[in-house]
C-alpha cells in the first residue's frame, strides 16, 4: 500500500466506492441514516449533496478509494457569525487507517477553508465514529454545540506539526501534499473557467 494517499475531488467513477464506504461507516459509527438505505439511494443523496455545492473528497491508495470526506460551506448561523466550512462526514476504511488517509482528507478540507478565508472548520458530531472523534480531537477540534470546531490557522498548524513529526520519523506525511494539491486544483479550475466541484453524478452508470 502506497505510503502517501492521494486526496482529490471525487469523480463520477468514485461514487460507487463512496456509497459502499458509507454503508460500512454506518455499521461502525453513529451515522444517522435509515437502516434500509442501499447504495443506489446513497448515490442519489450524494448527487444531491454535490449539486447543492457540497464537496466530496476521496483518499485514493493505489487506485482504490479507502476514505472520503463530505464538506461544504455554511453561511453564518446560530453558533457562528461568519462563513465556515463544515465536515458533514469523514470516514476511512478500518483496514486503511493509520496510514495517513485521515490526515490527508482533513488537510484537503483545511486547504479549501484556508483558501476561501473561512476562519473555522466544523465537524458534524454525528458523522464520525469514536475513533474519528479521537482523531479530530488530536487535531484541535473541540466540542461546539453538537459539533467539533477548530480555527483554520490552528488546524493548518497542527497538520504541519504532524508533518514535521512524520518527517523526523522518516515517513512521508500526506497533509502537506494534500493541501498543496487541493489549492493547485482549485486554481487550475478557476483559470480554466470551470467549477472545481465534482461533476454531476446523478447518473453514475452513464458512459
> What structural domains does the chain harbor?
6-192 (3.40.630.30)
CA–CA distance, 183 with 181 (Å, rounded to integer): 5
The pLDDT score that the predictor gives to residue 146 is 65
The pLDDT score that the predictor gives to residue 9 is 93
Beta partners for residue 195, in sequence order: none
Distance of CA 103 to the CA centre of its chain: 9
CA distances from 190 to 9, 178, 193 (A): 15, 18, 5
Count Cβ atoms below 10 Å from residue 99 Cβ, excluding itself: 21
CA–CA distance, 199 with 12 (Å, rounded to integer): 7
The tens-digit pLDDT sequence of the chain (207 residues) is 455 789 999 988 898 999 999 887 776 554 445 556 678 888 888 888 888 889 999 999 999 999 999 999 988 877 678 889 999 889 899 888 888 999 999 999 999 999 999 999 988 755 556 777 888 889 999 887 666 778 888 888 888 887 766 666 666 566 666 777 777 777 777 777 654 444 444 443 333
Is the overall model pTM greater than 0.85, yes or no?
no
Amino acid at each position: 500500500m502506497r505510503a502517501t494517499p492521494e486526496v482529490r475531488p471525487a469523480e463520477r467513477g468514485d461514487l460507487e466506492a463512496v456509497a459502499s464506504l458509507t454503508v460500512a461507516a454506518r455499521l461502525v459509527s453513529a451515522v444517522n441514516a435509515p437502516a434500509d438505505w442501499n447504495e443506489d439511494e446513497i448515490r442519489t443523496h450524494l448527487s444531491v449533496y454535490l449539486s447543492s455545492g457540497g464537496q466530496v473528497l476521496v483518499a485514493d491508495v493505489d487506485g482504490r478509494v479507502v476514505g472520503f470526506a463530505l464538506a461544504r460551506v455554511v453561511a453564518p448561523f446560530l453558533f457562528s457569525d461568519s462563513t465556515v466550512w463544515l465536515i458533514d462526514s469523514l470516514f476511512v476504511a478500518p483496514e486503511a487507517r493509520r496510514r495517513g488517509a485521515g490526515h490527508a482528507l482533513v488537510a484537503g478540507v483545511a486547504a479549501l477553508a484556508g483558501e476561501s478565508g473561512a476562519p473555522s472548520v466544523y465537524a458534524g458530531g454525528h458523522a464520525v465514529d469514536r475513533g474519528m472523534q479521537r482523531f479530530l480531537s488530536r487535531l484541535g477540534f473541540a466540542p461546539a454545540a453538537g459539533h467539533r470546531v477548530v480555527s483554520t490557522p490552528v488546524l493548518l498548524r497542527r497538520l504541519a506539526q504532524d508533518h514535521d513529526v512524520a518527517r523526523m520519523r522518516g515517513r512521508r506525511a500526506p497533509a502537506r501534499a494534500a493541501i498543496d494539491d487541493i489549492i493547485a486544483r482549485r486554481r487550475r479550475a478557476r483559470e480554466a473557467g470551470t467549477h472545481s466541484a465534482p461533476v454531476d453524478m446523478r447518473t453514475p452508470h452513464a458512459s
